[in-house]
A and B are shown apart, each in its own frame.
Chain A
Amino acid sequence: MSGFDFLTTRLETALGWGRKFSLFHYPFITACCGMEYMSAACAHFDIDRFGAGLTRFSPRQADLLLVVGTVTHKLAPVLKTVYDQMLEPKWVIAFGACAVSGGIYQNYAVVQGIDRIIPVDVYIPGCPPRPEMVLDGLMKLQDKIQHQKQDWRWGKKP
């Protein structure tokens, strides 16, 4: 680092950089897309390369909710509660066709997309999505986090 003894940045940029590379995720896995999630999370595709490797099994410790699989009307209040338990800032990825839109299940039991219950940041379609698509969705989320308005403890609430 000779010649670079200091660097300047904006607080927003620094916060965004920190947040996008330290995504602790909570896997809300209900169906077969879970296999694709495992494939994406394990060593071969390895979402840890993007700083999203720390899986937390408590929503209170997580800031990325991965909704992987079909959500039924009966399960909907559970998903809403899990989302409410997460601390700000938090993001949601709808993983797979069922979470995005209900997928092949247009029937009396299945919620037609989790965005009817909770806000969603990134949709990853596919039945199931390839791990490359998951990585692409993750990078899109990182891009979104980097460029969004960062709320932080000492800042004014927007």
Chain B
Amino acid sequence: MGKEALIEDIRTKLGRAVEAVSDSFGDTVLTVRADSLRPALAGLREGPFDYAVLLDITCVDFAAGEGRFELVYHLYSLSRNVRLRLKTSVPASDPEAASVSGLWKNAGWLEREAFDMFGVRFTGHPDLRRILTYEGFEGHPLRKSYPWRLAQPRIPLKDKL
């Protein structure tokens, strides 16, 4: 499957969900609408595309300019040895996206990381807790609005002595 044929197939499969297609250092970058994020990823997971590996879920804060977060999904197809980057925008005031932990098992922890660092709520996630920071941590530290000199409150000692 050549690159143009692949993009054409993806456009046919996902229909109006695709907002834009671009190329970044030889890898295809898809921009999809936030409300059709999960069906788009489910479509790419199966069939001829076969993106069986979810490499990473990250988030970018564009708060200074546009007041939005951008979720970035990195996919990889083992059978075809190609990568795909999928982006979608969520509003920074109320960041919410559909969980894909049912499609890829590892999405559970990756979404917890995005929740911990950026406060993006993933609806349908079975256990959306903090993963890198601890219980009692206030705020989401990788947001641009997080105060850079904020001192966290003192938490109580966990273990009884």
With beta carbons under 8 angstroms apart, the residue of B141, B154, B158, B161 that contacts A108 is B141
8 Å CB interface, A76-123 against B: 76-78, 80-81, 106-109, 111-112, 116-117
- B156 located at the interface, meaning its Cβ lies under 8 Å from any Cβ of chain A in the complex: yes
Tell me how many residues of B have a C-beta within 8 Å of chain A: 17
Chain A residues whose CB sits within 8 angstroms of the CB of B156 once the complex forms: 77
- A157 located at the interface, meaning its Cβ lies under 8 Å from any Cβ of chain B in the complex: no
A81 with B161: CB separation less than 8 A:
yes
Tell me how many residues of A have a C-beta within 8 Å of chain B: 15
A73 with B157: CB separation less than 8 A:
no
A74 with B157: CB separation less than 8 A:
no
A78-B157, A108-B141 known; A73 vs B148 contact (CB < 8 Å):
no
A73 with B149: CB separation less than 8 A:
no
A111 to B139, CA, bound (A): 16
A-B contacts counted at CB < 8 A amount to 36
Chain B, residues 107-143, CB within 8 Å of chain A (1/0): the string is 0000000000000000000000000011001010100
For residue A97, give the distance in angstroms from its CB to the closest CB of chain B.
Answer: 17
For residue B116, give the distance in angstroms from its CB to the closest CB of chain A.
Answer: 11
A106 with B155: CB separation less than 8 A:
no
The chain B residue with its CB closest to the CB of A76 is B154
Chain A residues whose CB sits within 8 angstroms of the CB of B158 once the complex forms: 77
For residue B145, give the distance in angstroms from its CB to the closest CB of chain A.
Answer: 13
For residue B138, give the distance in angstroms from its CB to the closest CB of chain A.
Answer: 10
- B152 located at the interface, meaning its Cβ lies under 8 Å from any Cβ of chain A in the complex: yes
A112 with B151: CB separation less than 8 A:
yes
A77 with B157: CB separation less than 8 A:
yes
A76 to B157, CA, bound (A): 9
A73 with B151: CB separation less than 8 A:
yes
- B150 located at the interface, meaning its Cβ lies under 8 Å from any Cβ of chain A in the complex: yes
A74 with B155: CB separation less than 8 A:
yes
Chain A residues whose CB sits within 8 angstroms of the CB of B152 once the complex forms: 73, 108
A81 to B134, CA, bound (A): 18
Chain B, residues 49-87, CB within 8 Å of chain A (1/0): the string is 000000000000000000000000000000000000000
The chain A residue with its CB closest to the CB of B147 is A108
For residue B83, give the distance in angstroms from its CB to the closest CB of chain A.
Answer: 31
For residue A109, give the distance in angstroms from its CB to the closest CB of chain B.
Answer: 8
User: Known pairs A80-B154, A108-B139. 16 more at Cβ < 8 A?
Assistant: A73-B154, A74-B155, A76-B154, A77-B154, A77-B156, A77-B158, A80-B157, A106-B148, A107-B141, A108-B133, A108-B141, A108-B146, A108-B152, A109-B141, A111-B151, A116-B151
Residues of B within 8 A of A (CB): 133-134, 137, 139, 141, 146, 148-152, 154-158, 161
